[in-house]
Structure 1
C-alpha cells in the first residue's frame, strides 16, 4: 500500500528530496504523497526512506491504498520505464 502524511507533519522538508519516485510534494498546508507514484521504496530501498527520516513519525501506511509486494514492484517498473522513455 502507499504511504500517507498525516496532519502531524511539521513541514521539515526532510522527506521530499529522499523520495526516489518524486511522490512527495508540498500540498496546501503539509506535504502529500501521490499514491500513484509511491512504491514504499520497493525497487530502490529495503524500507521507505521517508518513514525512516521523518522526525515526527507522521508517515503511516495508507489504509485506503492497499497494494501487494508484486503490485508495488510492477508500479516501480512502470515508473522506471516512464522515466527512461
Structure 2
C-alpha cells in the first residue's frame, strides 16, 4: 500500500480560474466566487493521476499535492 497523498490549495496564490474543479470534481468544488473548496484533502489512489493533472494545469501553481516534493 502506498502512503496517502494530500491535496493543498495556496489560497493567496489562487485567482479562481476553476480549472482544478473541472479536472478533479471528485475532490474539489467551487464557491460562489469561483474559488476552490476541497471536499477532502486525502487523494485516493484511484484519483492520484487526475490530481497530478489538475496540479499541473493550475495556471498560477496554487494547487499542490505532497507527492510533488519527491
TM-score, normalised with respect to structure 2 = 0.60
Q: CA deviation at 1:3?
A: 0.5
1:43 to 46, 55, 58: 46
Aligned-residue Cα RMSD (Å) equals 2.7
Structure 2: gaps (5+ residues): none
Count of equivalent residues: 59
1:13 corresponds, among 15, 18, 23, to: 18
In the TM superposition, residue 22 of structure 1 has moved relative to its aligned partner by 1.5
Structure 1 runs not aligned, ≥5 long = 63-85
Question: Greater relative contact order: 1 or 2 (C-alpha under 8 angstroms, separation 6 or more)?
Answer: 2
Task: Give the number of the structure whose residues are more often strand, by fraction.
Answer: 2
SS in 2 for 1:48: helix
Residue 43 of structure 2 corresponds to residue 54 of structure 1: no
